[in-house]
Amino acid sequence: MLIDQIIGQEEAVETIKKAAKQRRNVLLIGEPGIGKSMIAKAMAELLPPEDLQDILVYPNVEDTNNPLVGVMPAGQGKKVIENAKKQNKGQEERRNILMITIIAFIMAIGFLTNQFLSAIIAVGIVFFALYQLRPKGQQSTPKLLINSDGKEVAPFVDATGAHAGALLGDVRHDPYQSGGLGTPAHERVESGMIHRANKGVLYIDEIGTMTMKTQQELLTAMQEHKYQITGQSDNSSGAMVRTNPVPCDFVLVASGNMEVLKDMHIALRSRIRGYGYEVFMKDSMKDTPENRKKLGQFVAQEVKNDGRIPHFTKEAVAEVIKEAQRRAGKKDALTLKLRDLGGLVRAAGDVAVEENAKEVTVEHVHEARKQSRTLEQQIADRYISQRKEYSVFSNEGSKIGCINGLAVIGNSSGIVLPIAAEAAPSQSKEEGKIIAAGKLGDIAKEAVQNVGAIIKKSIGTDISNYDIHIQFVQSYDGVEGDSASVSMATAIISAIENIPIDQTLALTGSLSVRGTVLPIGGATYKIEAAAESGMKKVLIPASNMDDVLIDKKYVDQIEIIPVKTLTDVLEHALVGPQKDEFIKSLKENKIDKIKNYIPN
């Protein structure tokens, strides 16, 4: 059973079991690659296959544009079609026998009376009459729209990204329709995914990307449990056709991340909430022996499902688990972004296969990790080397107002984010201006304003007496900026006080309004990026220390210094003859106050 293969999502699994029993809808919210579609598929396996139905569309003699719909237990539909065909065939045979008999009779009379010409004309008339009276071809055979014959599990239909026609059904266009020569309407009817999911699961990821109109129709289908099929494009002859209601009694499993909720039809959301469950899925689990064992099970599963790669040694499994720790990015946790981790498993397997190895070893996993760097990681690599070449940041000496911040792009790549600040006494009598350049301008402005309060409190300087220019040197899309507030504050203080900053140092941290340094995400990747860029020291929030799982090769390259307050940061980051005096006054004046705010 698929449900037994789902790892780390116990709550979601319990919910899905409950929902399957009661045939409830489910909304799964969470990051990509944590098993949402897997859970939806597992739900289909839990639904009773006995309920499956066949659906047929029949021609409607009274109104050809309104085909009729028949529903019957699975397996019956096929028989109905066979019977109809047999009947058609039987009719044809009877017609042929009748014709031959009549012809023979006329010929016999003609022969007996020597009226050959009249006999031939009579045969012609009979032929013509029979041709005119022929039953209209296959028209009486219904179309088997949904065939559930022999199915042992309820259907699972993935309608992610489906357009209206595919989702709701369609009637094909027929250019000959108006001439009466065309394909009969009922044969042009195509089922939609909602109909194919009848008695099973309809799964839609990123549900918010569907148009409101389509979501509205989906809601109607859910409420009625049936939905008429009509041509979806206005100018097509299919749009004239509308079937009787076709059953679509599915369970909806919708999914997406938090963002998706914004674009989700409100009534649809409330339908799910009212007649189902909402689950917020996890992206990591606790690092316990039991959960490590589950990851071991995961590796075995992925090997089995792939079918082409050898099994992992115990040590290689341990290495994958270690990677799961790193990727979780916080202490005592293992990542549940298992799609990506599965990618690593397969890549390691491929390396082993290439080497004709019988087992996947630790070395294979290492090699795979190198080879299967994500796009973001590759971009980060390139930035690091480019920036080194053009010396966008320096990793030696000291400078006023310049600091090496750190940021994360994507989920798992760090980069050095140089920040430069300049401060000049304000020209105007009123407020000083904050001028922020670079792509992170807005975030920077906001951060500078927050930083202002802290600077006032800790060094007594009112930054509104200054025009402050702050720039993220060469930043680019995808960098988040809130973890740069400690760096910004340091750069501004350096600029105001004219005290240089150690350029062999990089740092990260978010600043609270009280001057304490708050934890940030991606500590490991940021430290690795700093080391990779030639930095000697890195400051990180003390509360992040347990999250640090850097690669062995970086351990001797860089000193990691935990910091708790802005004063700690300044003590490490500032250099030069004025520094000691400044820190001393800082401590004497304010440090006690700041200390009181340090969370434990």
Select from 329, 342, 452, 521 the one that contacts ligand ADP (CB under 6 A): 342
Is there binding between residue 75 and ligand ADP (CB under 6 A)?
Answer: no
Q: What is the rounded CA–CA span in Å between residue 91 and residue 421?
A: 92
**Nearer Cβ to ligand ADP (28/569):** 28
Max Cα–Cα distance, the chain, nearest Å: 139
**Nearer Cβ to ligand ADP (310/441):** 310
**Nearer Cβ to ligand ADP (5/65):** 5
Is there binding between residue 441 and ligand ADP (CB under 6 A)?
Answer: no
Read off the tokens for 474: 């060469």
Q: What is the DSSP letter of 240?
A: G
CA distances from 326 to 303, 414, 509, 555 (A): 22, 13, 19, 15
Is there binding between residue 5 and ligand ADP (CB under 6 A)?
Answer: yes
x-or-dash string of contact with ligand ADP, 272-311, rule CB under 6 A? --------------------------x---x---------
Q: What is the rounded CA–CA span in Å between residue 142 and residue 244?
A: 14
Select from 19, 26, 27, 36 the one that contacts ligand ADP (CB under 6 A): 36
Phi and psi angles of residue 442, each rounded to the nearest 5 degrees, phi first: -65, -45
Residue-wise burial string across 22-44, b where 16 or more C-beta atoms lie within 10 A, e elsewhere:
eebbbbbbbbebbbbbbbbbbbb
What number of H helices and E strands is found in the chain?
21, 25
Dump strand ranges (E) for 244-302: 246-247, 251-256, 276-280, 284-286
**Nearer Cβ to ligand ADP (29/583):** 29
For the CB of residue 261, give the shortest distance to ligand ADP in the complex, in Å. Answer: 16
Given 36, 199, 282, 526, the catalytic residue: 526
DSSP bridge partners of 258:
none
Select from 95, 311, 339, 433 the one that contacts ligand ADP (CB under 6 A): 339
Q: What is the rounded CA–CA span in Å between residue 315 and residue 71?
A: 56
* Binding segment toward ligand ADP, per CB under 6 A, in 36-44, 368-376, 421-429, 470-478: 36-44
Nearest Cα neighbor of 471 from 415, 515, 421, 516 is 421
Is there binding between residue 8 and ligand ADP (CB under 6 A)?
Answer: yes
Given 237, 284, 412, 483, the catalytic residue: 483
Q: Which amino acid is at 397?
A: G
Known catalytic residue at 483: yes
Read off the tokens for 84: 């109809």
Is there binding between residue 7 and ligand ADP (CB under 6 A)?
Answer: yes
Is there binding between residue 139 and ligand ADP (CB under 6 A)?
Answer: no
Is there binding between residue 32 and ligand ADP (CB under 6 A)?
Answer: yes
Dump strand ranges (E) for 257-295: 276-280, 284-286
Q: What is the rounded CA–CA span in Å between residue 252 and residue 202?
A: 5
* Binding segment toward ligand ADP, per CB under 6 A, in 3-11, 87-95, 140-148, 568-576: 3-11
Is there binding between residue 38 and ligand ADP (CB under 6 A)?
Answer: yes
- Contact (Cβ atoms closer than 8 angstroms) between residue 222 and residue 252: yes
* Binding segment toward ligand ADP, per CB under 6 A, in 29-37, 179-187, 344-352, 459-467: 29-37
Known catalytic residue at 526: yes
Degrees, nearest 5: CA angle 227-228-230: 135
**Nearer Cβ to ligand ADP (156/466):** 156
- How many residues belong to the site for ligand ADP (CB under 6 A)? 18
Select from 15, 24, 27, 35 the one that contacts ligand ADP (CB under 6 A): 35
For the CB of residue 306, give the shortest distance to ligand ADP in the complex, in Å. Answer: 9
- Contact (Cβ atoms closer than 8 angstroms) between residue 81 and residue 71: no
User: Which value, in Å, is the radius of gyration of the alpha carbons in the chain?
Assistant: 36
The angle that helices 566-573 and 485-497 make with each other, rounded to 10 degrees, is: 60
Is there binding between residue 34 and ligand ADP (CB under 6 A)?
Answer: yes
**Nearer Cβ to ligand ADP (103/260):** 260
Residues whose CB is less than 8 angstroms from the CB of residue 120 and which lie 6 or more positions away in sequence, other chains included: 110
* Binding segment toward ligand ADP, per CB under 6 A, in 4-12, 65-73, 117-125, 574-582: 4-12
Considering only residues 110 to 129 of the shown chain, the ones binding ligand ADP according to CB under 6 A are none
Considering only residues 462 to 481 of the shown chain, the ones binding ligand ADP according to CB under 6 A are none
Residues near ligand ADP (CB under 6 A) are 5-9, 32-38, 298, 302, 336, 338-339, 342
Active site residues: 483, 526
